[in-house]
């Protein structure tokens, strides 16, 4: 189990940066205070020399206990004086200490618990965020938003074969997706976007991704061909340090675009089912978009897969004319 070494490295770098920032600003506050209150500097120097003196006492031997008690009292009194001086001047007692983002691990990513070193929740969170970033790097995320989606590009003439006015129908789908993104929680339902090419499935799923990412959730958007190629490569190379599957199962929202256009193999078919099933069992949402009909999905994948999707996902049927051909 684990993430790729790039993901570990960027998560560790982020924590290290946060630790450095906290230490740097503590240093800056210390310099300011030393300038304003030279007495504070003297007190801190005396506190430090108590420490040095304690080490010397131990080395010298003799009545170590009595000497150490004296030094400890001196240290406590100096600390009290420093606290008082700071308070009189309106500073908190810990003003010269670094204020770490995570109290638990002081931004190191690990802490000691019952004699063992444990990975802190803040590092785990950072790993998911970095893994999402890594997988999303190649996705055209920024271009497709709800603002740039126009429902007036769909026909407003009743289509007898569909039984709907495409524009009205697409307005409903648009509203559904927007509200889904705005109210997203990691327990939200799944969605299956179906329909012919060029009808806005990718556009709307990216718009959802943008909004959900903006709201602070971990989203992975990936096209089915890229996803299955990556999983297959990892599976057969048995590389120990990459674990795409963990990230795919761990993210808050997984978006698989263009299901059905990947290179078909038993492996991909099995993985598609595993992935969808594992997320559904954990009540974690997936958005799948495809050109295939339900019957084709059943043929290409399996009954099991389709009945899982049927039970878990809201189906959205995209209708209209190919917008890649149409002029805006
Ligand atoms: N309603 C819309 N308003 C504005 N642009 C749109 C709209 N629908 C689609 N587009 C644009 O048209 C192009 C094709 O749409 P998109 O890629 O979302 O189609 P698709 O349904 O995913 O097609 P395919 O099944 O081939 O993947 C994209 O550039 C997209 O941004
Ligand atoms: Mg598409
Ligand atoms: Zn932490």
| Distance from Cα 14 to the centre of ligand 3, integer Å | 12
Residue 129: its pLDDT value, please?
Answer: 80
Question: Which DSSP string do the residues of 220-267 spell out, in sequence order?
Answer: EEEEHHHHHHHHHHHHHHT-TT--HHHHHHHSSEEEEEEET-SPP-HH
pLDDT at 75: 94
Averaged pLDDT for residues 80-92: 96
Higher pLDDT, 46 or 134: 46
Q: What is the pLDDT of residue 242?
A: 53
Q: Taking 50 as the threshold, does the pLDDT of residue 308 lie above it?
A: yes
Average pLDDT in the 288-302 region? 90
Nearest to 191 by CA among 176, 203, 175: 176
pLDDT of residue 248: 87
Answer yes or no: pTM beyond 0.85: no
Query: Residue 238 — very low, low, confident or very high, per pLDDT cuts 50/70/90?
Result: low
Predicted confidence (pLDDT) per residue in 95-135, tens digit: 999 999 999 999 999 999 999 998 898 998 888 788 777 76
Per-residue confidence band for 241, with pLDDT thresholds at 50, 70 and 90 = very low
Residue scoring higher pLDDT (84 or 302): 84
Calculate how far, in angstroms, residue 61's C-alpha sits from the geometric centre of ligand 2.
79
Task: Report CA-CA distances (Å) from 280 to 34, 132, 157, 272, 310.
Answer: 58, 19, 38, 12, 12
| Mean pLDDT confidence for 205-213 | 89
User: What confidence tier does 139 reach under pLDDT thresholds 50, 70, 90?
Assistant: low
**1 — pLDDT class (breaks 50, 70, 90):** very low
Strand partners, 312: none
Q: Give the environment of ion ligand 3: residues with CB less than 5 A.
A: 102, 104-105, 120, 122
Out of 169, 198, 317, 319, mutate this one to test ligand 1's pocket (max ligand atoms within 8 Å of CB): namely 198
pLDDT tens for each residue of 143-188: 788 999 999 989 999 998 889 999 999 999 999 999 999 999 999 9
């Amino acid at each position: 189990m684990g993430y790729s070494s790039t993901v570990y490295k960027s998560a560790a770098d982020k924590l290290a940066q946060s630790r450095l920032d906290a230490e740097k600003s503590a240093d800056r506050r210390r310099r300011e205070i030393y300038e304003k209150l030279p007495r504070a500097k003297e007190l801190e120097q005396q506190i430090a020399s108590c420490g040095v003196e304690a080490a010397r006492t131990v080395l010298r031997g003799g009545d170590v206990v009595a000497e150490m008690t004296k030094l400890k009292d001196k240290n406590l009194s100096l600390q009290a004086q420093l606290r008082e001086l700071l308070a009189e001047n309106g500073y908190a007692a810990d003003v010269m200490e670094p204020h770490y983002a995570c109290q638990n691990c002081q931004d190191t990513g690990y802490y000691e618990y019952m004699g063992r070193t444990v990975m802190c929740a803040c590092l785990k969170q950072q790993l998911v965020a970095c893994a999402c970033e890594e997988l999303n790097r190649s996705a055209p995320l920024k271009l497709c938003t709800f603002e740039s989606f126009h429902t007036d590009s769909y026909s407003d003439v009743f289509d007898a074969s569909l039984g709907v006015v495409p524009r009205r129908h697409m307005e409903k789908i648009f509203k559904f997706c927007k509200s889904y993104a705005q109210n997203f929680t990691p327990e939200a339902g799944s969605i299956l976007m179906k329909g012919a090419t060029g009808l806005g499935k990718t556009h709307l799923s990216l718009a959802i991704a943008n909004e959900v990412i903006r709201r602070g959730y971990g989203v992975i958007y990936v096209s089915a061909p890229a996803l299955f190629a990556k999983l297959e490569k990892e599976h057969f190379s048995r590389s120990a340090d990459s674990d795409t599957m963990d990230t795919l199962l761990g993210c808050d929202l997984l978006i698989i675009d263009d299901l059905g256009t990947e290179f078909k193999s038993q492996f991909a078919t099995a993985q598609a089912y595993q992935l969808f099933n594992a997320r559904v069992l954990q009540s974690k949402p997936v958005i799948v978009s495809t050109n295939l009909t339900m019957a084709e999905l059943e043929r290409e994948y399996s009954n099991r897969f389709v009945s899982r999707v049927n039970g878990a996902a809201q189906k959205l049927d995209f209708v209209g004319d190919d917008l890649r051909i149409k002029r805006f």
